[in-house]
Amino acid sequence: MLSTLTKKILYSDILFIFTAVLFFSCQKNLSFENGNSIQLPDLSTKINSSVSGFVTDENNAAVMGATVQFGTSNIITDKYGYFEAKKVQVVKEAAVVTVTKPGYFKGIKTYIAKEGKATFFRIKLIPKTTVGNINGSSGGTVSLANGLSIKLPAGAVVNAATNAAYTGTVNVSAYWINPEAADLNQIMPGDLRGIDNNGSMKLLQTFGMAAVELRGASGELLQIAIGKKATLTLTIPSSLSASAPATIPLWYFDEAKGLWKEEGRAVKTGNTYVGDVSHFSFWSYGLPGPFVQFDCTVKDAAGNPVPDALVIIEYPSVNNNTWGWGYTDPSGYISGPITANAQLTLKVFTYGSCPGIPLYSQIITTANSNISLGNLTIASNNIATVTGTLKNCAGQPVTNGCIIIEVGNEYYYRYNVNSNGSFSFNRVICPGSTVVDIIGQDNTTLQEGFINNYTLVTGNNNIGDLLTCGNSIQEYVNYTVNGTPFSVVPPIGTIRGYDSIAINSRVIYGYDSNINAYADFGISKLNIGPGSIQNLTFFSCAQTGYPSTIPAPISVNITEYGNIGQFISGNFSGTVTSAAPPNTTYTITCNFRIKRNY
């Protein structure tokens, strides 16, 4: 999948500056009338698709324990922020990947799925921070230093779940998404395809976006009342202001469909756009335009595929560093929609090193027809071939494992081993050499090796035997109710942990829908550590129901408590009482081990 962020384009014989991110996947042919796409989206056809990627926070740190929803699959990111789902049925024209994590707005990516081709993302979550308060009864305005403001009229807020009027304190969380941000395609939702008022699919040229959420004093989700509207103001970057149109369509992001939808218009006032919105989610001020399909395959001089190559498409006339990017799949393939009727520059980079130095460059010109470039060849002095064998603690080949490569203490890559434990893959590197850290994982024994530092050079790099021994990556929540055992163990089950500031607890949750098993419990954080005894602050499970009470204190024995990214484990036993009625008493035991993400 590839995205392209642009800033200047000749459109209808008028040169104007804009910003657009284009995610590449696969799409059927488009038809055009007077240079404009008249294709109506097909949002009913489904195919099987596979997706993987890495999730990071606003500081580019790996996010462990985030939930990734893809079709009917739910995946939890590991300590590297990695997720993967294979052969899941999704909407072909708009496959949606949604990442949720407490304290962050949703990270949502959309792509056009193609049978037999996997898709890869790097998703950066943006923090959901309370930036101000408004009285729900009298209304008011919250403004940020970057120019984003949210104005609520009097009596315009309701409880989102009940639609009952809300007159208390409204906590406003908001984030301005800069249309010129270098990481725009990682933080913005969707792929900038939108459905206009005619029901036609368009590619948007965004002048700015905002994420907004309203919460009540008790944490309840709020929305704008029917018949009322809030005013949303966004700054136009100075380099875009001169060519920004006087009025511009407003688009909100439909999280279920993974597409933007046109709703209303905004007016240019000075260096801002001001528009009225009827609800809050993600909003964008953007111009729609036609697009065509692009694809190519990146290979080395010997004809071998080059996966994970960073591919950029930009306009040669752009003076500022406004651009977007995407990554080749395991076969070196990349595809997707790009702007029609434009001259573009395609560049190939290595992600996480050699900034600003393209390893390949080519001018391409689009018209109203799809464009395929075939094979693109990367020079041999930019390719490192990495080979070796992954072995377990017994010295035997690992048949179900992977290699994790870290570049620049920040960017991760992942490669699977084959059935005999060996691995061989191409890496795009800086000319000459690139320093990396490599770790091996055994997904059968749930063991991981120690970090190995290597300098990858042009040509062959045989690193020999790589051990997956020394660090257990096993997670579980095992519990019994009146002597009947239940167990939640990944990858079938879902296990996560988070901090609850309100009750000063480490909260642990394990769920497996296949066996109707879930356990949700909290552990006091006060003086917690290995060997400590903590209080159980609450407990509920599928068998006792929610909420349940703890009639007598239950002690939790903490047997392991590592740093963030390592593990917390322990055990406890006691009695709990179900909710009234019938106030049934249950005898419970539990032992657990999960990775810490807080």
Q: Give the CA count within 13 Å in the CB-facing half-sphere of 552.
A: 8
Write down the pLDDT at residue 10: 30
**Do residues 250 and 267 touch, judged by C-beta distance below 8 A?**
no
In tens, the pLDDT along 302-318 reads 898 988 888 888 876 54
* Nearest of 478, 482, 506 to residue 588 by alpha carbon: 482
- According to the model, what pLDDT value does residue 261 have? 97
Band (469; pLDDT cuts 50, 70, 90): confident
Q: How confident is the model at residue 3 (pLDDT cuts 50, 70, 90)?
A: very low
Dihedral over Cα of 74, 79, 80, 86: its sign: negative
Mean pLDDT of the chain: 85
Where do runs of H (alpha helix) occur along 480-528?
none
Q: Quick check: 9 pLDDT over 90?
A: no
- Which residue in 151, 112, 119, 114 sits closest to 135, CA to CA? 151
What is the distance between the alpha carbons of residues 120 and 60, in angstroms, rounded to a whole number? 17
How many residues can be counted in the chain?
598
* CA dist., res. 449 & res. 461, Å (int): 19
3-state secondary structure of 382: helix
230 closest CA partner among 154, 124, 166, 308: 154
Average confidence (pLDDT) over 167-178: 96
pLDDT at 55: 94
Q: How far is CA 53 from CA 30, 83, 84, 326, in A?
A: 29, 6, 7, 12
* CA dist 181 → 7, 244, 336 (Å): 12, 17, 21
Q: What is the mean pLDDT of residues 109-113?
A: 91
Given this model, what pLDDT does residue 15 score? 27
For the full predicted model, state whether its pTM sits above 0.85.
no
Distance CA 55, CA 120 (A): 11
Question: Which range (99-103, 227-231, 579-583) has the least confidence?
Answer: 579-583
Q: DSSP readout, 72-129?
A: TEEEE--TT-EEEEEEEEEESS-EEEEEE-TTB--EEEEE---TT-EEEEEEE--B--
The answer, yes or no, to whether residue 17 has pLDDT greater than 50, is no
CB atoms within 10 A of CB 327: 22
Write out pLDDT tens, residues 389-442.
999 988 999 999 999 998 876 688 899 999 999 999 888 887 778 888 999 999
**pLDDT band at residue 491 using 50, 70 and 90 as cut-offs:** low
Show the tokens assigned to 67. 């939930």
